[in-house]
Structure 1
């Protein structure tokens, strides 16, 4: 039986009393890559934030690699190898590229941070060239690469990528696609959200459609 990197069953999320997600069921086998496709406001970010423990939720099952996450505080998700790339990047402008990448390691006391950093620089070598630059000095697309690298620092099992291509110039969108495609060979499980499947169609194994807080698996791409 294939181990599930992410197992969500019957997930409900309400914000200020308004239901946002309704009985969401979504399962990702270990090492798979899936797209979460839906228009703005459909609930993509809410779902990812609920998995990260950043929003209160109710569910029958919310587990990563067979371990229940439902009652764990949000700050412990990184310790369990789960990481999140928010749409708005949320880098600290005054810190350097390398400092931004290392932030999760400092916050979570990761003992192998330097080894992990070397792997990230091998995966995204252009960041090594920019490691001493302030995040504020980078373009939007370059900042997305830094934010992805930061997510990779603790993200050893599951990566949640929220609109990674949004607002990025075409040349850097292609570069992001290349980097994300390489993650498949690293055994990581990836859930990637987009408003359409323009960028993700050739990356993912399966597609989930979300509309008005309801998720349905629509297809396997290959």
Structure 2
């Protein structure tokens, strides 16, 4: 099992957000996390990445316990995160935004990783010299995925990749997720509506009020 979340409880201040969450992602699997806004999907992803503290429970990634591990160490294990709000630096070019996490980690194989991004999402190479601010919201989502690929060797967490994106770009993002699977990556992607990615999702969990409901088959 690549990612194994067991009995996870998370609080933000005095408020309980995640309650006894259990979720698994196998090697090479694309897993959906469906649920309305406020269900706890973003909290779960941020907790896996170490941006929120675990109150109780376990997060195992590739055989290592993450619950007490600092966030910077988790990235170096082969995970990448594309947040819902993209978090691009508008003054930097698309290529600079994509390179940024590899620079921060002092990666020795930046050019090889960048070539992989160009291969999986070739339009980003075309956008490369442009400032991130000049792109549409959907194009910025692709940049965020490309940036996540610069640190990910095993697992990508894609938070609401289809939210607020035009249908044509939603279709393109789904194609990219399919390419990730072909490249051997695992992915966990969240959304209120995962219909665009239905044909590439292997398994879907539904979350409501901070709990995982009975796992559902992949959306047809």
TM-score category of the 2 structures, normalised to the smaller one? over 0.9
Q: Distance in 2 between matches of 1:204 and 1:149?
A: 20
So what's the TM-score if we normalise by structure 1? 0.95
**1:91 paired residue number:** 88
**1:5 paired residue number:** 2
Deviation at 1:57, TM superposition (A): 1.1
Deviation at 1:70, TM superposition (A): 1.3
Say if 2:195 is the partner of 1:187. Answer: no
Deviation at 1:195, TM superposition (A): 0.4
**1:220 paired residue number:** 217
Is the Cα contact below 8 Å between 2:11 and 2:55 reproduced in 1?
no
Unaligned runs of 5+ in 1: none
Is the Cα contact below 8 Å between 1:207 and 1:217 reproduced in 2?
no
Secondary structure of the residue aligned to 2:95 is helix
Q: Distance in 2 between matches of 1:192 and 1:30?
A: 15
Is the Cα contact below 8 Å between 2:83 and 2:158 reproduced in 1?
yes
Hey, which bits of structure 1, 4+ residues long, moved more than 3 A?
A: none
Say if 2:113 is the partner of 1:116. Answer: yes
Say if 2:186 is the partner of 1:209. Answer: no
CA distances 1:122-162 after superposition (whole Å, capped 9, x unpaired): 11111111111110111111111111100011011111100
Unaligned runs of 5+ in 2: none
Is the Cα contact below 8 Å between 1:21 and 1:213 reproduced in 2?
yes
Distance verdict in 2 for CA 1:29–1:217, change over 3 Å: farther
Q: How does 1:1-222 map to 2 (within 5 A)?
A: 4-221=1-218
So what's the TM-score if we normalise by structure 2? 0.96
Q: Distance in 2 between matches of 1:139 and 1:202?
A: 25
The count of aligned residue pairs is 219
Is the Cα contact below 8 Å between 1:8 and 1:59 reproduced in 2?
no
RMSD (CA atoms): 1.2
